[in-house]
Copies of this chain bind each other. A is one copy, B any other.
């Protein structure tokens, strides 16, 4: 019955696309939406569609933007020669929450992944290289994720920029603050040892 009730099924089928939402959660969301006031569902539906339509990308760095430039690229104080390379706009948001980084960003919108057929031309690498000649870049901070694709992407970009005499750095790997040595995997511990510093 009800699980084959068409309006519920069609809502659940679409909600199932969301990350981490399995068939049961999608059904739970659908039942919930079915019991929401019509006006609230209209607001939800419109917010998603209008929100998605309003998404713009910065012409320089690929970050989310309200106009042609994102708020970082539009801020002249952040033109300090540093470019931090990340995979997604959400990584920009994460780094901005530290309130410490004063340079600019470059959003790749993906990482190299030969297995998934994602090559250098499929992500914003060419645009990054172009910035080396138009901006006065002193350092490129490679802040892709510390996974296989992220490491491969960082290495690839570093090899590409070295002949141009651009200083490339990679974010540190180590034990997360508040973490526990006992539960830290060996590779991370090894990186933490290798990256040790005088105190």
Contacts and interface: CB of A to CB of B under 8 A. Distances in A.
A14 B44 CA distance: 5
Interface stretch (A84-92, A114-122, A187-195): A84-92
A97 B24 CA distance: 14
Contacts of A25: 20
Nearest to A25: B20
B31 A41 contact: no
B89 A47 contact: no
A6 interface: yes
A54 to B, nearest CB: 4
Given A1-B96, A88-B31, A41 B45 contact: no
Q: Give the one of A31, A34, A88 with max B CB within 10 A.
A: A34
Contacts of A32: 18-19
Contact of A1 (B18, B34, B48, B93): B93
Number of copies: 2
A10 interface: yes
A89 B2 CA distance: 7
A52 interface: yes
Given A29-B19, A71-B1, A88-B31, A51 B96 contact: no
B2 A90 contact: yes
Contact of A34 (B6, B33, B64): B64
B38 A45 contact: no
A71 to B, nearest CB: 6
B88 A47 contact: no
A188 B78 CA distance: 63
Nearest to A97: B3
Residue among A19, A41, A52, A89 with max Cβ neighbours from chain B (10 Å): A52
B93 A7 contact: no
A6 to B, nearest CB: 7
B1 A17 contact: no
Contacts of A8: 51, 55, 64
